[in-house]
Amino acid sequence: MSESTSYLNRTSRYVQIANDTRNTTLATRCGVADSFWTRWRGLMGQAQLASGEGLLIVPEWSIHTFFMRFAIDVAFLDHEQRVLKLYPALPPNRPYAGAWGAAAVLELPAGVIAATATETGDHLRLIPREP
């Protein structure tokens, strides 16, 4: 089991993230960080996010990348899962990034935003799945 997978196993639930606007999939196994501890921990200390993995932090409107070892793509979502703001390849150890009005933050491996052509205004769908 990889270090990134072992961390995702500590989250209580998972979703698949589909971009309905572009008919693409951003993550097939996205952990949901919805408790104080999982939201605070985020991806700090992780070695990587594997292809198809992600972390959805709810509720949240800003993040930081302190104590992270790799760049991530970040999408800020409103209450209807519309993309408000995108940060492709956000480098580690930045103070924070945020989006006014965001209800959730989606963290993905760097390159997913470009590979899926995801843009501001796109509608994402959260599909519940088993771990």
- pLDDT, tens digit, 9 for 90 and up, residues 41-54: 777 777 789 999 99
Distances (CA, A) of 34 to 38, 93, 120: 6, 23, 24
Residues forming beta bridges with residue 29, ordered by sequence position: 53
Supply the pTM of this predicted model: 0.86
Structural domain harbouring 68: 3-129
Total domains in the fold of the chain: 1
Q: What angle is formed at CA 12 by the lines to CA 48 and CA 50, rounded to 5 degrees?
A: 20
pLDDT at 18 > cutoff 50: yes
- pLDDT, tens digit, 9 for 90 and up, residues 52-80: 999 999 988 888 888 788 999 999 999 99
Q: What is the CATH number of the domain that holds 77?
A: 2.60.120.1140
pLDDT of residue 1: 33
